[in-house]
Amino acid sequence: MNHHGAWLQLPLVFLAAAVLAVPLARWLRLGSILGYLVAGLLIGPQVLGLVPNASAIPEVAELGVVLMLFLVGLELEPKRLWAMRRPIFGWGSVQLLGCAAALTAVGLALGYPWRLTVVVSLGLAMSSTAVALAVLAERNLGRTTAGESILSVALLQDIAAIPVLALVPILAVGGAADDGDGQTWLAAARAVGAIVVIIFGGRLLLRPALRWIAHSKTPEIFTAAALLLVMGTAALMLTVGLSMALGAFLAGVLLAESEYRRELETDLEPFKGLLLGLFFIAVGMGLDLKAVAAQPGVVAALVAALLACKIVVLALIAKAMKIPLVERPAFVILLAQGGEFGFVVFQLARGEGMIDAAQNSALVAAVALSLALTPLLLTGGDRLMSQKLARRGLKGARAEAPPPPSPIIIAGSGRYGQVVARMLRASGLEATVLDHDSEAIESLRRFGWTVYYGDATRLDMLRTAGAASARILVIAIDDIAQSVGIAELAREHFPQLTVVARARNVQHYHQLQAAGVGHIERETFDAALMSARSVLELTGMEPHAARRQAMRFRRHNIEVLHRMLPLQGDENALIAAAKLGRQQFEQQMAAEREADEAHRQAQRGGWDAGAPP
C-alpha cells in the first residue's frame, strides 16, 4: 500500500476483524466481548502481525470506557446517585479492600516482599468497568439489584484510582515520602477542584449551552457538542490525574434530569459501541503470548489465585448485600476478573522499578486471560445456577426485574400532543414525550412537564425512548412527511406498537392509512363538529338531536374517506366520490327531516282530533 493510503490500513484491519469475529462469537453464544478479545489477539503482533505497532491504540480505545460511563451517568439522576452513596462507599470499599487483603495474604504466604505484594494486589483487586457494564447492557441487567451493586463497586474503583496511583511511588521508595506527601496533597486538591468545576460549571452552563446549540436545528452539530462535552470533561480529569471515566460519569449525572438526555444517549451510542469494541481489541492485542509460553505455570497460578480470592470475597459480599440468588453469578463473576486499571498500576510499578519486564508481562497476561474467561465463566455460572434453582423448585428465585419503560410514547408536544398527555396523566398513565423544538420543551418544563429533546423520525431515537417494549405510539407531529415517516418506521421495526395518529387533512389521513395506522383522528374535525352542534342548537334544534346529527355526519364522513382510499392518485375520481358522498348524505338528511316533519304533523293531527270541542 502506498504512503497516500497508509492511514487506511489500521481502520480497515480493525473493522474487518470486528465484523468477522463478533458475529461469529455471538453465533457461538460466547458474547461480543470475547469476540473482540480474540479479534485483537489474532491481528496483534503475536499472531498475524497485521498491526505491528499498537502503542497509541489503548489511549484512543479508552474513550470507549469514557463514553460508556457518561451514558451510565445519564441514567442516574443525582437523587438516585445520592441514594446509592452507602453501597458505593460502603460495599465498594469492602470489595476493593477485601479482595486486595485476600490477594496480599496469598502473596505474603508465598514469600514475596510486602510492598510489591500490596501494589500488585491493589492492581488485581480492580475489576473491569468496561466488561462489567457491557455485559450488563447486553443482558439488560442494568436496573437489577446485581446491576446497581456492580455499578456501585465500579464507581468506587474509579474514585479510588487516584489514591492507589499515588501510593505506588510512596511504596517504591520505601516509605520515605515527605516530598510525596506534599505531591499527594497537591494532587488531591487539584482533583477536588476539577470535580467542583464540573459540578458547578455543569449546573450553570451545560443546559443553556445545549439549548443554544439545539436552536441551530443542526443535528450533526448537536452530536459534535455531545462528543465535545464528554471529551472536554475527560481531558480536564486527565490533566489533574483523575480517571477520565469518572469525569465523564459526573457530566452524565448532571445531565440525567435534562430534557436533552434522550438525544445525547442516541447520538453517542454508536460511538460508544465502536470505541468500546476498540478497547477490547486493544486488550486482546496486549496479550503477550510469548510471556505466557515462557512462564505458563506462573501465569496460570496468577489467574487461579486472582479468580479464587475474588470469587470467595465477592460471594460473601453478595450474601451480605442480600442480592437475589439468581443474580449472584453475574455479580460475582463480573467483578472477579482483573481490570484495565491493573495495566496502569503495573506499568507505573515497572517504571518505579518495583517489578521487572517478565513479571509485568505475566501480570498483564493474567489480567487479560481473566477478562477473556469472564464470558465463559458467566455462561457456566448461569447453567450451575439454573440447575440449583431447578433442584430447589425455584423457591426464592424470582429476580427483581428491571422496571418497564413507559408503555406509551408521544411524538410531538404541541397543542395536540399536550391534550393527549394531559388526558393520560389525569387517568393515571405516564407517557414518554419527545419533541425537537427546544423552545416548546423549555416552556412545557416550566409548567412541570417531563419532555425529552429528540427527533422521533430517527429509528435510534425511537429505540432509546423505549419503542421496542412500548405498547402505544401517539404521532402528534405537525409535519405531514415526518408523521408518515414515523408511522412507516413503527410498522417496519416495532410491529407490536399500536399507532394512534393525528391527520392534518384528507391526504394526510390516506397516507397514514397506507402506512398501516389503524387509529387516525383529523385534528380540526371534531372541533368543527362541536361548533356545528352549537350553531344547530342556537337555531332551535334540541341538544340531543344536534349531537345525533353530528355523530351521523362523523360516521358518514369516515365511511366516505375509506371508500376514497383506493382512488388515490386519480383526482377526477376523488372529486366525483366526494361529491357523490356529499349528495348521498344531504339526501339522507333531507329524507330524515321530511320523515320527522311528517311524524310531528301526525302527532299534532292526533292531538287536534282528540281535543275537546
- Tens-digit pLDDT profile for residues 511-536: 888 888 888 888 777 778 888 788 87
Cβ 371 vs Cβ 337: under 8 Å: yes
For residue range 141-175, list pLDDT tens digits in order. Answer: 666 777 888 888 887 887 776 677 767 777 766 54
Summarize the confidence of residues 76-103 as an average pLDDT: 82
Confidence of residue 474 (pLDDT cuts 50, 70, 90): very high
pLDDT value, residue 473: 93
- Say how many C-beta atoms besides its own lie within 10 A of residue 471's C-beta: 12
DSSP state of 402: P
Residue burial 319-332, b: 16+ Cβ < 10 Å; e: rest: eebebbbbbbbbbb
Q: How many CA atoms lie within 13 A of 52 on its CB side?
A: 0
pLDDT value, residue 338: 86
For residue range 528-558, list pLDDT tens digits in order. Answer: 888 878 887 888 888 888 888 888 888 877 7
Q: How many CA atoms lie within 13 A of 414 on its CB side?
A: 11
DSSP state of 143: T
pLDDT value, residue 467: 87
Residue with the bigger pLDDT between 497 and 204: it is: 497
Which range among 76-85, 233-242, 598-607 shows the weakest confidence by mean pLDDT?
A: 598-607
Any bridge partners for residue 473, and if so which? 409, 499
Q: Whole-model pTM?
A: 0.57
Residues 6+ apart with CB under 8 A from 426: none
Domain ranges of the chain: 55-391, 404-523, 537-604
Mention the CATH class of domain 55-391: mainly alpha
**What are the angstrom distances between the C-alpha of 515 and each of 100, 105, 433, 523, 525?**
60, 67, 22, 18, 21
Residues 378 and 77: their CA atoms lie apart, in Å, by 30
Cβ 438 vs Cβ 207: under 8 Å: no
CATH of 404-523, one of 3.40.1450.10, 3.40.50.720, 3.40.50.150, 3.40.50.880: 3.40.50.720
For residue range 317-366, list pLDDT tens digits in order. Answer: 988 888 877 778 888 888 888 877 787 788 778 777 788 777 877 887 88
Cβ 40 vs Cβ 221: under 8 Å: no
Whether 132 shows a pLDDT value over 90: the answer reads no
